[in-house]
Amino acid sequence: MFTSCSFAIARFRQTGWAIAGTTAIAAGFALAAGALAAVPGDGSGANPIAMPPIEAFPGGGPALVVDSEIHNRVERAAGLVVAGQKLRGALLRQFYAAHNFDQVWATRQSQVDALVNLVSRAGEHGLDPDRFHLALLRNRAALAPIDRDLILSDAFLGYADALARGAVPIELRMDDEDLTPEPVDVASVLGQAVASADPAAIIEALAPRSPAYTALRRALQSYRAAAAGPESARIAPASHGQRDLRAGPDKTPDKAADKTADKTNESRLRDIAVNLERLRWLPRQIPADRVWVNTANAQLVLYRDDRPVFTTRVVVGEVDKQTPELQTTITSLLFNPPWNVPYSIATKEILPKAAQDPNYLTRHRMVVRPNGAIQQLPGPGAALGQLKFELTNRFDVYLHDTPLKALFNRDNRRQSHGCVRVQNPRELAALLLQQPVDTINKGIAIGSTNRRMLPAPVPVFLVYQTVFLDADGTLAFRPDEYGRDDDIWRHLSRSGQAPVAQNNPAGQRRS
């Protein structure tokens, strides 16, 4: 079961060094070589001549320290600030190392214009252009040449990084927001853009290309157009097929009774922007076969070849025991699983009840193991029901059956300790095993605990999407019951410089 833990996240970035093949350095070595030739050796190996310091490449081999203003500034321990805005030191070091710590943009006006224009349209992705120094970019002629080069590089690197892995990268998020796309070397990508006739296309390609992301971008554009129109038009266009439900996903919306129908277009824009950000946390290649659990919607969908073939309701974590966001795989099924009660649940819930009622453990088929742990024996009344879908993850959450079937009829299905309870587990198990439901029934009928491995691991995504495309292509909204949207919005909408990722550890879920 889910117990939030605090994890220290250390991110190591290699810093490359380039040998500056300048006349001055070559002359310096020639001078040094001449001086050494004039000094007789004394057999001690000591060298009386002061030589320039030598540093090593990350991959080995010596390289000279580059003595340039850009190099010296990006290496300052106190951090790099231009016009009062803090820059991304690690990314800048990596980028300029590949360019000999020289100015990059002074002779590339067409690339500068294209990329500045791209950053100015960051709002199309739900990003605030001011996060990427837009005011300074527009007034860049007033900056000193080195400051101008640094600001341009930092703006383009920051925007590329936001598209590639989110404006709120994993090291800035809460611990239970544990989704991340494939790693991208954004400094290298910007290096490609520098030499390209169409640099904006190279950076723009870092954003997701999924149908869901494209649809939310279009919705953002439509809501912006509606918000900019006359007062009478400031309601979401009907073409969106908007659904805004507090009830379960299978219920037809009652517009008259909808408690959130009065939400403004501005708040809808915020909701869409936040969920565009969440889509940037996902891999760019989503597996065509997958189990998809949206905890904000309390629903599970099984996809085959990118098409939904099975949908069921689920029960997810309570507000103070939230189901995490993660990617993993289902590897096996456990029939008639015992429940090894987590320590936190045992101490906070089970043992106090047992102290008040001597028959509590016996009545609930619980035993105390030699190590002091409490285990509930398998059976139809056990907490995990008769099926457990085994997932590997650091939160120790999984999918499972439950004897409490009535919970699936509730509008509020946030009732678990963090695991995901499945309404129709036997049907899901049969699809995953690629066997008839009767095979699942026989495995349960054995009565004892037994395991069946899946033919191949099936990817699983636990996501929290408060705005998403429904199965029929409808744009659906869900309330932010877990209270996660505000934290993301603060990062997306923050004017001025965003926090520098490597200096901010991930936080623990506030509950």
Q: What is the identity of the amino acid at 276?
A: L
Q: Which of 410-414, 441-445, 504-508 has the lowest mean pLDDT?
A: 504-508
pLDDT at residue 62 tops 60: no
Which element (helix H / strand E) includes 191?
helix 186-194
Sign of CA dihedral 61, 192, 120, 127: negative
pLDDT at residue 140 tops 80: yes
Q: What dihedral angle (degrees, nearest 10) is formed by the CA atoms of 388, 394, 395, 398?
A: -10
59 DSSP assignment:
T
Query: What mean pLDDT do residues 205-231 have?
Result: 90
Q: Are residues 180 and 328 in the same domain?
A: no
Q: What is the reported pLDDT for 264? A: 78
Q: How far apart are the first and last CA of the chain?
A: 16
More confident residue, 305 or 229: 305
Q: What is the reported pLDDT for 473? A: 85
Q: How does residue 312 score in pLDDT terms, banded at 50, 70 and 90?
A: very high
Q: What is the reported pLDDT for 180? A: 95
pLDDT at residue 429 tops 50: yes
Q: Are residues 166 and 295 in the same domain?
A: no
Reported residue count of the chain is 511
Q: What is the identity of the amino acid at 372?
A: G
pLDDT at residue 24 tops 70: no
Q: What is the reported pLDDT for 306? A: 94
Q: Is residue 54 part of a domain?
A: no
pLDDT at residue 115 tops 60: yes
Q: Is residue 180 part of a domain?
A: yes
Q: Are residues 441 and 313 in the same domain?
A: yes
Report the 3 state secondary structure along 85-132.
EECCHHHHHHHHHCCCCCCCCCCCHHHHHHHHHHHHCHHHHCCCHHHH
Q: How does residue 379 score in pLDDT terms, banded at 50, 70 and 90?
A: confident
Distance CA 17, CA 94 (A): 9
Domain boundary among 207, 234, 268: 207
Distance CA 439, CA 422 (A): 18
Q: Is residue 497 part of a domain?
A: no
Specify the residue for token string 């611990």: 175
CATH code where residue 313 lies = 2.40.440.10
pLDDT at residue 380 tops 50: yes
Q: What is the reported pLDDT for 391? A: 94
For 99-112, what is each residue's pLDDT tens digit? Answer: 999 999 999 999 99
Q: Are residues 310 and 246 in the same domain?
A: no
DSSP, collapsed to helix, strand or coil, labels residue 476 as strand
Domain boundary among 165, 184, 207: 207
Q: CA angle, corner 408, sides to 404 and 414, nearest 5?
A: 90
Distance CA 341, CA 374 (A): 6
Residues contacting residue 227 through CB under 8 Å, at least 6 positions apart: 234, 264, 265, 266, 269
In sequence order, what DSSP letters do the residues of 197-258 get, joined into one string?
A: S-HHHHHHTTS---HHHHHHHHHHHHHHHHHHS-GGG-S--GGG--EE-SS-TTSPP-GGG-
Q: What is the reported pLDDT for 78? A: 73
In sequence order, the β-bridge partners of residue 313 are: 299
Per-residue burial over 500-510, b if 16 or more Cβ lie within 10 Å, else e, is bbbeeebeebe
Q: Is residue 23 part of a domain?
A: no
pLDDT at residue 11 tops 60: no
Domain boundary among 207, 222, 257: 207
Range of the domain at 218: 211-278+483-490
Q: How does residue 244 score in pLDDT terms, banded at 50, 70 and 90?
A: low
Q: Is residue 70 part of a domain?
A: yes
Q: Are residues 307 and 439 in the same domain?
A: yes
Distance CA 282, CA 469 (A): 16
Q: Are residues 194 and 333 in the same domain?
A: no
For 286-296, what is each residue's pLDDT tens digit? Answer: 999 999 999 99
Q: Are residues 295 and 332 in the same domain?
A: yes
404, two tokens:
């409490």
CB 417 within 8 A of CB 348: no
Q: What is the reported pLDDT for 186? A: 97
Q: Is residue 326 part of a domain?
A: yes
Q: Is residue 194 part of a domain?
A: yes
490, two tokens:
């603060």
Query: What mean pLDDT do residues 218-228 have?
Result: 89
Q: Are residues 397 and 301 in the same domain?
A: yes
Per-residue burial over 352-379, b if 16 or more Cβ lie within 10 Å, else e, is eebeeeeeebeebebeeeeeeebebebe
Mean pLDDT of the chain: 82
Q: Are residues 248 and 269 in the same domain?
A: yes
Q: How does residue 502 score in pLDDT terms, banded at 50, 70 and 90?
A: very low
User: How many CA atoms within 13 Å lie on the side-chain side of 467?
Assistant: 25
Q: Are residues 319 and 260 in the same domain?
A: no
| Nearest partner of 180 among 343, 17, 74, 328, judged by Cα | 328
pLDDT at residue 203 tops 60: yes
Q: Are residues 130 and 180 in the same domain?
A: yes
73-81 contacts at long range (C-beta below 8 A, 24 or more positions apart): 73/146, 73/150, 74/101, 74/150, 79/500, 80/150
Distance CA 467, CA 219 (A): 10
CB 366 within 8 A of CB 382: no
Which element (helix H / strand E) includes 272?
helix 265-280
pLDDT at residue 412 tops 80: yes
pLDDT at residue 499 tops 90: no
Q: pTM for the full model? A: 0.80
Portion of the chain with pLDDT greater than 70, in percent: 77
180, two tokens:
């991340």
For 66-90, what is each residue's pLDDT tens digit? Answer: 568 999 999 886 789 999 999 999 9
Q: How many domains does the chain have?
A: 3
Q: CA angle, corner 72, sides to 67 and 76, nearest 5?
A: 150
Q: CA angle, corner 155, sides to 151 and 160, nearest 5?
A: 150
Q: Are residues 235 and 86 in the same domain?
A: no
Q: Is residue 343 part of a domain?
A: no
Query: What mean pLDDT do residues 219-246 have?
Result: 62
163, two tokens:
């598209």
